[in-house]
Amino acid sequence: MDIASATLRRVKPSPTIAMSNRAAELKAAGRDIVALSAGEPDFDTPEHIREAAKAAIDAGHTRYTAVDGVPELKRAICDKFRRDNGLDYTPAQISVGTGGKQILYNALMATLNPGDEVVIPAPYWVSYPDMVLLAGGTPVAVPCGIETGFRLTPEALEAAITPRTRWLIFNSPSNPTGAGYARDDLKALTDVLLRHSHVWVMTDDMYEHLSFDGFAFCTPAEVEPGLYDRTLTCNGVSKAYAMTGWRIGYAGGPEPLIAAMRKIQSQSTSNPCSISQWAALAALEGPQDFLAERAAVFQRRRDLVVARLNACDGISCPMPEGAFYVYPSIAGCLGKISRGGTPIDSDAAFAEALLDEEGVAVVFGAAFGLSPHFRVSYAASDAALTDACDRIARFCAGLKARAA
Ligand SMILES: Cc1ncc(COP(=O)(O)O)c(C=O)c1O
């Protein structure tokens, strides 16, 4: 019996989680696997944040809290938006949820009607289109290829907007490409949006603190104050503070939207974990200097991985501005056959054969809506990255032309 609802049947499970699970299973079965598929920092949560969580337990912060966050955390989030982004929000304009994921999901659930369109630049974070589908909307993927540095152009945005467009989901630096939008690039997009007053902006700033080579992060409502009243600025502590398991994300936006999101949360999960909220408060109010130190470590790893991948036969890897991913093209590998006999006719086949034959777990590009590519997460040790790159190089060197 198929117990799935019609809505659920339109949705696919997260391919990144599926790949990480597959790698873990193979490892548990004794295979020598290097997993570069997970989207989380390999650092520990800093000690002062862990201590704050322990103190929160001892102080009795173990009960239900206000549905969308304790006032102390909301005030700290207002301070963060002012300090880092020049954005003024009041606590009534702040929503705190169980990870950035729930924040985005709540916003879509709260606002989409059947037939409403959501413009999503591709490649995209895997959850955006499926969240839109779960909320009853229609995802409109706009291909943003390697030739535009994986960035949405103003022309492509203009062409994608229809009278049914409700949201643009914007993500910089990006998962899966690491591409970041400089202020001028972003201004060109916000100029388009100014002309379409029915389109709102959901900006996912999760990788704000992970940028390299002096890249200056900026966010839509800051670049174009004229969009402030129709922008939801989403962020969280998961990636910057190595707190993926704590599940705290947040957003600032117009009060009626925040109230609508609160209503969804009040009838689904209620408050995010009370202890995690106090830990997030310590993260946002505590020392921030380690953020730059950790970004420097990621920058060094990015340089290593990009150089090594570009030396592989058939692979071309652009240099990203941020996050901890690279998104190389495998156009030069297509049409070949692997040493183990797998025809490489898609990026899914490439990733599958790479895992089977060399034990390297990456995520194929079709999962992110743009082929032929794969995503490498370089949130791993130098030794693991070097080992993985050796194996990828060997795999590519072993690809043979198919007999005519
Ligand atoms: C672009 C992007 N947005 C949101 C999230 C979700 O973050 P969280 O773990 O806080 O739910 C992720 C996590 O992978 C992400 O990559």
CATH number for the domain spanning 330: value is 3.90.1150.10
Share of residues in the chain with pLDDT > 90 (%): 92
Residue 58 falls inside a structural domain: no
- Do residue 149 and residue 245 come from a single domain? yes
Residue to mutate, 77, 101, 244, ligand 1, most ligand atoms under 8 Å from C-beta: 101
* Domain-ending residue, one of 285, 312, 345: 285
pLDDT at 403: 75
Q: Can you state the angle between helices 255-266 and 99-111, rounded to 10 degrees?
A: 110
Q: Can you state the angle between helices 274-285 and 71-85, rounded to 10 degrees?
A: 30
Q: Can you state the angle between helices 347-358 and 382-397, rounded to 10 degrees?
A: 110
Residue 99 in contact with ligand 1 by CB distance below 6 A = yes
- Do residue 159 and residue 263 come from a single domain? yes
Mean confidence (pLDDT) of the chain: 96
Residue 176 in contact with ligand 1 by CB distance below 6 A = no
Q: Span 117-140, mean pLDDT?
A: 97
Residue 24 falls inside a structural domain: yes
Residue 164 falls inside a structural domain: yes
Residue 103, H or E segment: helix 99-111
Residue 100 in contact with ligand 1 by CB distance below 6 A = yes
- Do residue 272 and residue 160 come from a single domain? yes
What is the atom index within ligand 1 of the atom nearest the CA of 237? 10
Does 125 score more than 80 pLDDT?
yes
Residue 3 falls inside a structural domain: no
- Do residue 119 and residue 265 come from a single domain? yes
What is the atom index within ligand 1 of the atom nearest the CA of 249? 10
CA of 402 to the centre of ligand 1 (A): 40
- Do residue 36 and residue 177 come from a single domain? no
Q: Whose CA is nearest to atom 16 of ligand 1?
A: 175
- Do residue 147 and residue 241 come from a single domain? yes
With bands split at pLDDT 50, 70 and 90, how would you rate the model's confidence at 404?
low
DSSP 122: E
What is the atom index within ligand 1 of the atom nearest the CA of 174? 1
- Do residue 153 and residue 235 come from a single domain? yes
**253 CB-near residues (< 8 Å, 6+ apart):** 89, 93, 95, 107, 231, 232, 233
What is the atom index within ligand 1 of the atom nearest the CA of 236? 10
- Do residue 320 and residue 257 come from a single domain? no
Residue 51 falls inside a structural domain: no
pLDDT digits 0-9 by tens, 232-253: 999 999 999 999 999 999 999 9
- Do residue 152 and residue 83 come from a single domain? yes
What is the atom index within ligand 1 of the atom nearest the CA of 102? 11
- CATH at 137: 3.40.640.10
- Do residue 171 and residue 194 come from a single domain? yes
Residue 56 falls inside a structural domain: no
Among 47, 49, 41, which Cα is nearest to 285's?
49
With bands split at pLDDT 50, 70 and 90, how would you rate the model's confidence at 22?
confident
Q: Whose CA is nearest to atom 7 of ligand 1?
A: 100
Residue 178 in contact with ligand 1 by CB distance below 6 A = no
pLDDT digits 0-9 by tens, 283-323: 999 999 999 999 999 999 999 999 999 999 999 999 999 99
pLDDT digits 0-9 by tens, 188-232: 999 999 999 999 999 999 999 999 999 999 999 999 999 999 999
Structural domain tally of the chain?
2
- Do residue 167 and residue 308 come from a single domain? no
CA of 102 to the centre of ligand 1 (A): 9
- Structural domain including 277 reads 63-285
Does 171 score more than 70 pLDDT?
yes
* Domain-ending residue, one of 240, 255, 285: 285
* Domain-ending residue, one of 239, 259, 285: 285
pLDDT at 16: 79
- Do residue 281 and residue 294 come from a single domain? no
Residue 1 falls inside a structural domain: no
The whole model's pTM is what? 0.96
Residue 55 falls inside a structural domain: no
